[in-house]
Amino acid sequence: MSPLEQATEGFRTIEADSATKEKALHYLREWLTLDSYSAYRSQLEWLIQEKQWLGLLDRFYQVLPFGTGGRRGAVGVGPNRMNLWTLGASVQGHCEYLKERFPNERQLHVALAYDVRGFRDRGKKYNPHLPNPVLGLSSRDFAKHAASVYAGNGIHAHILADDSTRLLSTPELSFTIRYLKCHGGLNVSASHNPPDDNGGKFYDERGGQPVAPEDQLMSDLVDEVATIKSLAWSDALRGGKIHFLDDAPHRAYVDLCTKQSLISPPKFDEIRVVFTPLHGVGGMQAFEVLDKAGFRPIPVAEQMEPNGQFPNVTKSPNPEVPESLDRAIATAKDRNADIVLATDPDADRIGGATADGQGGFRVLTGNEICALLTHFKLSQLTAQHRLPSSPIVVTTEVTTRLVTRVARHFGAQVVNNLLVGFKFIAEVLWQLEHSGRYEDVKGAQADFILGCEESHGILAMPQIRDKDGAAAALLLAELTLDCKRLGVTVGQHLDGLYRQFGYFKNALANIVMTGIEGKQQMEKMLERLRREPPKSIGGMPTTGFEDLRDEHGRMGPLKGATDAASRNVLLFHLGDQARIALRPSGTEPKAKVYVESCCPPVAANASANEWQKTCREVDELASRLSADFQRLALGAIGLGPS
């Protein structure tokens, strides 16, 4: 029996719809017979011999979705994995898109960045004794392959030289695209995903990711790719299509970040800042910015080396995860530091923990960082008489409304209804830059104060069009220094903001559903809740429901499949006290439940005990709503909470 026949028989033992199995067999036949996939064949035949039917079905039932700006997922064999074929097809589609978008440009240019990842098969999915073309594939390997595809299509690619000791962060790539006046860009990175993942994220000439309908146009062109044009690396070099980046964009980026400073620099040993890049690239950007601004950051020695296996990181290389900061906090306690700062592997996210004045540290959430930096920047600019006449703060639908209350207190205009993803914040900036308005908000990009999202994303300046960990690190360090000069901790300052503007509790829960079956269950769950939204949650009546996919709603007609994916969000309002949002993650096999509860500002004569009681009630409400909503969501498809 041939390998394909064995797989056909094996798939019959799996509970999955026939269309899914037929699609998998179609791709499997190609990978077993076409010469272009011959390098993968020995591993593929081994998987069949081992009767890995579920794994094979998952690898072959679809082409890894392009999503709203690129592909990201587990590295491996098959069309539903990241490998040179899936990235190459993505880049080929991007080439076609660039030629359509700029039909009169004789020379097209792109900038490329890559992170520290390398595939080591930590999950032991493949036979270590057989040839494996994905084993050892690094982000640099992926990026060089992408550059060869760009060159094969006549497009100039700007990339770091092989012997470069630097790496580019996500925000530095965004800046570099604009600095070099490129027509687009690509970042090979899986951000804070597990070590065996990788991805390719594409950028437009503005330095952001394209939004609908442009992202749909690019996705369609990627789907239509039948042949990948590529040059050998040596031929691309000889042909003059590969250009190695010098230090000029990097120096300009660091200078721009440093210029975001809002207060006088620290005196010698006035403040102690501990910094970790969590084995990512942040040591080459955020650390340098902090040092140039006079903060003399203390490194977490065991986490400074760029290493895609993240060997000295607890749980996840993601500053959203408190456990990832354990070594940095230990260093901070040992050095009697005032704040811990951390960037994720591609240095676009910022996290931190602040000294509580009693020997401990308080880990900051993304929502708290958003509120703190919104207040810090607006208050400093106001005090220095530098606040623009039409200040604008931009945030997303699922980010705390405390940002809105703070911004409006200073007379700022607020955009707070954006979909999840920093590309939508970048789109607001582009609209302001080119038309002087976004919906009912009027102003120019010079009026931009801050863009922020709950997942630890901050943008402090309009010259970059993605979240930026470096300038955010500087602002958090300066906020801590300002608080220290005033004789309060950052935690005490934050509590003061809660008393002034109202206490907010934000909770995030993940409903994890993996594999083909999980994807189908997630779709059923959302559709059921869309058709039959609960009338009450946690004992509170649902006072409003909004389906952002509703073409008769505030977002209007859908602009394509990518727009539908971004707008797959359900909003549940529970009076003035709480709200819940549900959306499937665009990069991970889970649905995210965002819960926010809040209270009004505290009365001037309220005692400390009364205030603490109010805060406890807000916390308890958020917990109750989260638990009950998960029960309702899973119950909609006949499941119970795990």
Contact between 553 and 545 under an 8 Å Cβ cutoff? The reply is no
Contacts of 244 (CB under 8 A, 6+ apart): 158, 159, 160, 161, 164
Residue 513 predicted with pLDDT over 90: no
Contact between 88 and 146 under an 8 Å Cβ cutoff? The reply is yes
User: Helix, strand, coil shares of the chain as percentages rounded to 5?
Assistant: 40, 20, 40
More confidently predicted of 192 and 507: 507
List the structure tokens of 373.
Answer: 């930096």
CA 82 to chain centre: 18
CB-neighbour burial class of residue 226 (10 A; exposed 0-12, middle 13-18, buried 19+): exposed
More confidently predicted of 36 and 181: 181
Which one-letter DSSP state was computed for residue 324? G
Q: Cα separation of 641 and 632, whole Å?
A: 9
Band (616; pLDDT cuts 50, 70, 90): very high
Report the top-level CATH class of 367-462+477-501: alpha beta
Q: What angle (nearest 5°) sits at the alpha carbon of residue 427, between those of residues 422 and 429?
A: 100
Ranges of each domain in the chain:
1-61, 367-462+477-501, 504-635
Token pair 């539903």 is found at 80
Residue 318 predicted with pLDDT over 80: yes
Helix (H) or strand (E) holding 517: helix 515-531
Contacts of 181 (CB under 8 A, 6+ apart): 109, 205
Q: Cα separation of 428 and 448, whole Å?
A: 10
Q: Cα separation of 301 and 299, whole Å?
A: 5
Q: Cα separation of 509 and 516, whole Å?
A: 21
Question: What mean pLDDT do residues 383-398 have?
Answer: 97
* pLDDT tens, residue by residue, 340-387: 999 999 999 999 999 999 999 999 999 999 999 999 999 999 999 999
> 555 φ, ψ to 5°?
-95, -5
Whether residue 213 has a cis bond before it, omega within 30° of 0: yes
Mean pLDDT, the chain, rounded, equals 95
Q: Cα separation of 279 and 309, whole Å?
A: 8
* pLDDT tens, residue by residue, 520-533: 889 999 999 999 99
Q: Which long-range contacts (CB under 8 A, 24 or more apart) does 100-103 make?
A: 100/217, 100/221, 101/183, 101/214, 102/183
Q: Cα separation of 103 and 597, whole Å?
A: 50
Residue 43 predicted with pLDDT over 70: yes
* pLDDT tens, residue by residue, 198-249: 999 999 999 999 999 999 999 999 999 999 999 999 999 999 999 999 999 9
pLDDT of residue 641: 64
pTM (2 decimals)?
0.95
Q: Cα separation of 293 and 265, whole Å?
A: 7
List the structure tokens of 513.
Answer: 């559903």
pLDDT of residue 642: 56
Count of CA atoms in the C-beta half-sphere (13 A) of 346: 28
pLDDT of residue 606: 86
Classify each residue of 201-224 as buried b or exposed e, where b means 16 or more C-beta atoms within 10 Å of its C-beta.
Answer: bbbbbbbbbbbbebbbbbbbbbee
pLDDT of residue 604: 79
pLDDT over 90 percentage in the chain: 92
pLDDT of residue 587: 63
CA 289 to chain centre: 22
* pLDDT tens, residue by residue, 258-307: 999 999 999 999 999 999 999 999 999 999 999 999 999 999 999 999 99
| Superfamily name and number for 504-635 | Alpha-D-phosphohexomutase, C-terminal domain (3.30.310.50)
Strand order of the β-sheet with 339-343 is 298-299, 273-276, 339-343, 350-355, 361-363
pLDDT of residue 598: 97
* pLDDT tens, residue by residue, 71-94: 999 999 999 999 999 999 999 999
Q: Cα separation of 282 and 276, whole Å?
A: 8
Neighbouring C-beta atoms of residue 258, cutoff 10 Å: 18
Q: Where are the beta strands (DSSP E) in 205-349?
A: 242-244, 273-276, 298-299, 339-343
Neighbouring C-beta atoms of residue 399, cutoff 10 Å: 25
Amino acid letter, residue 605:
N
